[in-house]
A and B are shown apart, each in its own frame.
Chain A
Amino acid sequence: MAVAVDNDMSIFSLVAGASLPVQLVLLVLIITSLFSWWYIFIKLATIKRAEASADDFENAFWTGGDLNKLFEGLTAGRRKAQGMASIFEAGFKEYARHKQQPRMEISDVMEGSRRAMRAAYNRELDDLDAHLPFLASVGSVSPYIGLFGTVWGIMNAFRGLSNVAQATLSQVAPGIAEALVATAIGLFAAIPAVIAYNRFASSVDRLSVRYESFMEEFTNILQRKS
């Protein structure tokens, strides 16, 4: 009785030997994992860039230069201003526009520029928050998808066992190993997504706090100027 002769398992033979639902689960998980890693790298780059540009802008802003020069420098650039610069741009543009109109109440001018900055802030936050919900759902759902594949695979493994009179471990082991690949890949997709989500969420929070405090301070500066 030669029972377990061909037990050479590689990851390829495991995936090839799995049943169709398990293979589908694996495919879905690999695609989600690819997308989540793609978004992770995109977000890493964009958040890093937003933090760097916020640092640069704060440096430029607090050195005490002329606000008009700063605004011209920002609008002269071909690229649309981002982050803190775009908030400053929106607020200062609105302030300047209101300033040009005669007989405007200061409080109205301040309200107008505040609203413009709030709108720019919301747009910026929306950009910062982009893809984070996707990462959150990948982190919470893909273990379950992997678990589904595993349960299905183990069900198949044991159903195959019922036809055999003498049950040995070597008859179940390949099926269970195949099935567990699904859980492994689900976890592989979920763990980085969760870590990245938490890290990006905290980075976005910190950035939004910086943006808000800049808004308050800039409003004060504008109020003093007028």
Chain B
Amino acid sequence: MIRKYEKEISWKAGAYAIGVHLALLVALLISFNWKAAHPVLNIAEVELWDSLPTVVQKPMPAPVVEPQVKPAPIIDETPKPAPVVEEKPVEPKVDIALEKKKKELEQKKLDEQVKKDKALEQKKQLDALKAEVSKDKPVKNNTADALKNLQQEALADDKSEGDKQAVSAKASANAGVVGDAINKIQAKIRGNVNKALCREDNPELRFDIALLPTGQLSGSPKLVKSSGSAACDEAVERAIMASDPLPLPADSSLFSQFRNLKLKFRPND
């Protein structure tokens, strides 16, 4: 390994060699010690929507809906007088019953009784009218109350209209959400269908799918209407199984419409 004349230098050379390697190690440690300060990767799942969902509008009218329920009875009070008026024709029937009894007891006193009854009726009518007048009077007398009532009525009207609009908007929004969700379900299934197995004339299939609230299938999908080719039916069924879990709308209150989903499906759309 080493010549005789090299022996005296060998220790020194060995020390130098080790020194060089230590220097290399230090250089590597300084320059090569990279601290990877990665932030923990948050992978966000993004759903792509074809059209803007109408759900967004729904939360806005929702808070308005509840306070509207209270003013509603106020509206009911004003129509009440009408039933009171309607009751009056009922009363004569009772009177007739009374008359029959009275005919049995005293036939002679019929006319008088009738007159008395009429008088009673008139009195009642008068009382009712008076009561109405008395009801109306304080309203008219206390102008402030009247204004308030008017305002309340106006508000109630507005709110009831708004309520109706909100309800209809909510219904339409729900319908939109349901439609979107069904579209998404169809899109997800369509991505898994082997379209080569289905004919090109785009037959319509119908499946009954039972879903869990998580979107997972409960049981296997039931074929209601076949496309005409068993291969296509099986391909679509496999695609539905492969799409498990199906995308459901975030609003769990709409799940009732998906529990037993009747899915119409055209593989070649």
List chain A positions with a Cβ less than 8 A from chain B. 1-5, 7-11, 30, 33-35, 37-42, 44-46, 82, 127, 130, 170, 188
Contact = CB atoms under 8 A, between A and B. Distances in A.
Interface in B1-55: 2-3, 5-6, 9-10, 12-14, 16-18, 20-21, 24-25, 28-29, 32-36, 38, 40-43
B32 A11 contact: yes
A41 B29 CA distance: 25
Interface in B41-93: 41-43
A37 B34 contact: no
A37 B33 contact: no
Contacts of A38: 10, 13-14, 16-17
Contacts, number: 71
Contact of B5 (A4, A5, A82): A82
Nearest to B31: A11
B24 A41 contact: no
B25 A37 contact: no
B35 A41 contact: no
B17 A5 contact: no
A180 to B, nearest CB: 11
B33 A9 contact: yes
B17 A34 contact: yes
A8 B35 contact: yes
A46 B17 contact: no
Contacts of A188: 24
B28 A11 contact: yes
Contact of B17 (A1, A2, A10, A41): A41
A179 to B, nearest CB: 14
6 contacts: A4-B36, A4-B41, A34-B17, A35-B17, A38-B16, A127-B5
| Smallest CB-CB A-B distances: 10 pairs | A41-B13, A7-B36, A37-B17, A38-B17, A42-B13, A41-B16, A45-B9, A10-B33, A11-B28, A2-B40
Contact of B21 (A3, A37, A41): A37
A7 B35 CA distance: 7
Contact of B3 (A2, A8, A130): A130
A168 to B, nearest CB: 9
A206 B2 CA distance: 23
A188 B2 CA distance: 23
A32 to B, nearest CB: 11
B203 to A, nearest CB: 35
A11 B33 contact: yes
